[in-house]
Amino acid sequence: VEIDESLLIDSSEVYIGRMIGGGGRSAVYEGLYDSRSVAVKIMQPCGESMTNQDYKERFRREVMLLSRATHQNIVKFVGASVKPVMTIVTELMTHGNLHKHLSSIRPAKLDLKLSIGYTLDIARAMEYLHANNIIHRDLKPSNLLLTEDKQHLKLADFGLSREEVSTEMTGEIGTYRWMAPELCSIEPCPRGTRTRYDHKVDVYSFSLILWELLTNKTPFHGRDPILATFDTCRNIRPSVDSIPEEFIPLLESCWAQDPSRRPEFTEITGFLSGVLDKLTSEEEV
Ligand code: ATP
């Protein structure tokens, strides 16, 4: 795997502790490197579902994108190693991911101001990525990690991220429940375009997280993830009955079936920071 020398670290200097997470693609451990606490993500061996070449390329891309992303709401890259196994080391986020956090306080909801703060963190990270032509493609609560004071979130897992280029992007595409409708369609690329989808897939996933933060419910709760995706394709969306009125237009535009009708993250951050300022000034009165 060709990875810039400056990003490589010696794996014998990484001490691995208890397992703290993992998904389909990796196992994640608490660790120590260079006298600081880190998270050590060890890639699963290349299975039969992809070629060795694709597997290495995916790892290379994850390292490249994560190492270049420097933003307060994106988990910090520390280094990578390819021997003896492919490993990515990042800063340790001791409070884990948003999915677990929301489940642990359920059925209670998050305080409104905190949930708007969280959505603003996500929107800012995404605004930064999209400005750099990167599509995340797997935006979901288990890829959002809580900061030490639990007041903010950082985005992790660039395993499915891609640079937005003018070639058709096929292949792995996110996690069913949070997946945009255009990703599950089997239709060919629209006439005159070379892609079936673009960065607006992240805006759709964002809308479901916004809904989840405001309700503390899982979107399409009780529905099998694949069936939830069928619903999405049929333009069915979670209910907005218990959503504060001022967020309904934002939600409805972000989850529009037509991706071109979804706003850019720049507009979303503008709107959310306005709401947050209003909430803060009301508190001060
Ligand atoms: P999936 O296939 O589900 O997308 P993955 O194999 O790509 O997962 P990640 O999403 O990067 O792996 O990490 C899996 C889990 O490990 C996260 O949900 C989180 O709980 C934990 N984790 C990852 N990175 C960190 C970190 N820097 N600090 C603390 N925990 C982390």
**pLDDT, tens only, 176-232:** 889 998 887 656 555 555 457 899 999 999 999 999 999 999 999 999 998 998 899
Q: At residue 253, does pLDDT exceed 90?
A: yes
CB 163 within 8 A of CB 188: no
**What percent of the chain is predicted at pLDDT more than 70?**
93
Helix (H) / strand (E) element for 21: namely strand 14-22
Please say if the pLDDT value at position 50 is more than 90.
no
115-144 average pLDDT score: 96
Ligand 1 centre and the CA of 96: distance in Å? Answer: 8
Contact 65, 134 (CB under 8 A): yes
Distance CA 178, CA 2 (A): 32
Residue nearest to atom 5 of ligand 1 (CA): 23
Give the pair of three-digit tokens for residue 242. 């218990």
> In terms of DSSP H, where are the helices of 9-74?
52-68
**Whether the complex's predicted ipTM surpasses the cut of 0.90:** yes
**Residue 208, CA distances (Å) to 35, 160, 175, 239, 253 in order:** 38, 19, 12, 11, 12
pLDDT at residue 160, as a whole number: 84
Give yes or no for residue 22 CB within 6 A of ligand 1.
yes
Q: Is the pLDDT of residue 284 over 90?
A: no
224 Cβ contact partners less than 8 Å away, ≥ 6 residues apart: none
Q: What is the pLDDT of residues 63-122, one digit of tens each?
A: 999 999 999 999 999 999 998 999 999 999 999 999 999 999 999 999 999 999 999 999
Determine the pLDDT at residue 175.
Answer: 86
The atom number, within ligand 1, closest to the CA of 94 reads: 29
pLDDT band at 22 (very low <50, low <70, confident <90, very high): confident
Identify the residue whose C-alpha is closest to ligand 1 atom 18: 142
Closest CA to ligand 1's atom 11: 157
- Dist. CA 277 → ligand 1 center (Å): 32
Question: Pick the catalytic residue: 10, 54, 138, 202?
Answer: 138
**Cis-peptide into 238, omega within 30 deg:** no
Pocket flag, ligand 1, residue 30 (CB < 6 Å): no
Task: Please say if 10 is a catalytic residue.
Answer: no
What lies within 8 Å, CB to CB, of 236 at 6+ separation is: none
Alpha carbon of 21 to ligand 1 centroid (Å):
6
The residue written with tokens 């196992």 in the block is 27
pTM: 0.93
